[in-house]
Chain A
Amino acid sequence: MNSLLAAGDGGGLHFPSIESLLEWPGFLFEGNTFLELNKVGLIYLWAMVAPLVIFTLAIRKSSLVPRGVQTVAESSVDFVRENIVMQTMGPDGMKFMPFLLSLFFFIFFANITEVIPFIQFPANSRMAAPAFLAIVVWVVFNGVGIKSQGFFSYFKNTIIPPGVPGALLPLVAVIEFVSTFLVRPFSLAVRLFANMLAGHLLLVTFAVLCENLWAKNILVSIIWAPFIVLIGLTGFEILVAFLQAFIFTILTAVYIGGALHPEH
């Protein structure tokens, strides 16, 4: 049951088992539960260090007319400000800018390793980090709501939307409670995780297809078909890696904005 395309024994096309695609052995501090490091952990460390390096370099050599790495840093900050903060929270949301920017960069750099040669593994296709990020976002938007509106009025404003007829109120309140406090973090985590896992499996499928056709000389004449699809999918996955970081961040901004300003 652990192979998708295994066709009998011998000749067929062998798809690697999903464990071998997703579970990496530790190579540092083996046996130590807290310190053991594998490829996924290494990618997360990279996703943490890479934005730090980019922004430190941009600050160190900053000039009025941006050049080189400073252009990258400034345009990304500008992108997050114009497309995420201003669109969803307005000028009030500028104080959440550092949080949203680090969220965006962490997710993006953990995703983009999906298409970087020799790494080719999106760290967010393991559930741990998306789930943890979703919990962080849950704590932040609830904390912001409680701080700006007070505990009871935040709760009331959240589960009782304005303008609901009395008879429907119990039903609507239950639905709003479940969708705000339970479904939001769940769907946030599952969206990121499932998108990256699906992308990884797609790329692996076509790479395995290419490799198998390459190995059997007689089929070399049709290798271009899966190869072209593989190249197209790689481009698509770059888009998905960016888009998922963007969507995670913008949903966070929407949730924080909703907690900041209750609907009237």
Chain B
Amino acid sequence: MIDLLAQADNALDGLKAVGAGLGYGLAAIGPGVGIGLVVGNAITAMARQPESAGMVRTTMFLGIAFTEALALIGFVVFILLNFA
């Protein structure tokens, strides 16, 4: 019985690790695509109008910061599942 419990505990740890890895991987997909879109469009804008590059760059960093937040929350969940 104690053996079984220990096994279940091990399996739970393993599932936690798998969940953490999958969670972070899934959380990174959307922001990856999103940051690509933001930066790609910012480059298009800068190439079309080099004189507005400063403004576009500032706005681009803002957009990246907002998009990236979701991936970072995924990373925090990964850390919490693995180490907390």
Contacts and interface: CB of A to CB of B under 8 A. Distances in A.
Interface in B22-81: 54-55, 58, 61-62, 64-66, 68-69, 72-73, 75-76, 79
Nearest to A187: B69
Interface string A70-109: 0000000000001100011000000000000000000000
A198 B68 CA distance: 13
B66 to A, nearest CB: 8
A87 B76 contact: no
Contact of A194 (B54, B62, B72): B72
B65 A191 contact: yes
A87 B13 contact: no
B59 to A, nearest CB: 8
Nearest to B59: A87
B68 to A, nearest CB: 7
B82 A246 contact: no
Contacts of A190: 69, 72-73, 76
A194 B61 contact: no
A18 interface: yes
Nearest to B83: A18
Interface residues of B, number: 20
A204 interface: no
Given A2-B83, A87-B54, A246 B61 contact: yes
A191 B76 contact: no
A82 B82 CA distance: 43
| Contact count band on A | 20 to 34
B69 A197 contact: no
Contacts of A18: 79, 83
B13 A1 contact: yes
Interface string A143-184: 000000000000000000000000000000000000000000
B72 A251 contact: no
A69 interface: no
A1 B18 CA distance: 12
A195 interface: yes
Interface in A219-246: 243, 246
25 contacts: A1-B16, A1-B17, A2-B83, A18-B79, A18-B83, A82-B54, A83-B54, A83-B58, A87-B55, A190-B69, A190-B72, A191-B68, A194-B73, A194-B76, A195-B72, A197-B75, A198-B72, A243-B61, A246-B61, A247-B62, A247-B64, A250-B61, A250-B62, A250-B65, A251-B62
Nearest 4 pairs between A and B by C-beta? Answer: A194-B72, A87-B58, A247-B65, A187-B69
